[in-house]
Amino acid sequence: MKKDQRIREVIEQLIVSDKFNSFARHDIDKAIIVCRQPLDERTIDNWFNLLWKLEYIIQPKPKVYSLNITKIQELEVKLPQEVDPKQRRLF
């Protein structure tokens, strides 16, 4: 499986988590755990850093993360129906 597909799986897991695009670090870790098996602590940290460095997640406030809708659209991820593709946040 390509890395883009794996990133898409993690992003989709975050979208369906009912957190309204306001995630704590442990929410992102849970999505990584669900999508990436087998894993250890280094895998979780590596995937979090990958999502962060590729700007799929952003940090609008300390200890709060959100999805970068503009960047996610490049992956062709299914967004919830109430989200306008021109909208930058899911709030």
The domain ranges of the chain are: 3-73
DSSP type of residue 33:
H
CATH 2.130.10.30 assigned to 3-73 = no
Say if pTM beats, i.e. exceeds, 0.85: no
What pLDDT does 50 receive?
Answer: 93
CA angle 84, 33, 66 (to 5 degrees): 30
What's the rounded Cα separation, in Å, for the pair 62 and 22? Answer: 11
DSSP lists the bridge partners of residue 45 as none
C-alpha to C-alpha distance for 84 and 63, rounded to whole angstroms: 26
pLDDT tens for 17-63 read: 777 678 999 999 999 998 887 778 888 999 999 999 999 999 999 99
Q: For residue 75, which of 2, 23, 20, 5 has the smallest C-alpha distance?
A: 5
Model confidence band, residue 4 (pLDDT cutoffs 50, 70, 90): confident
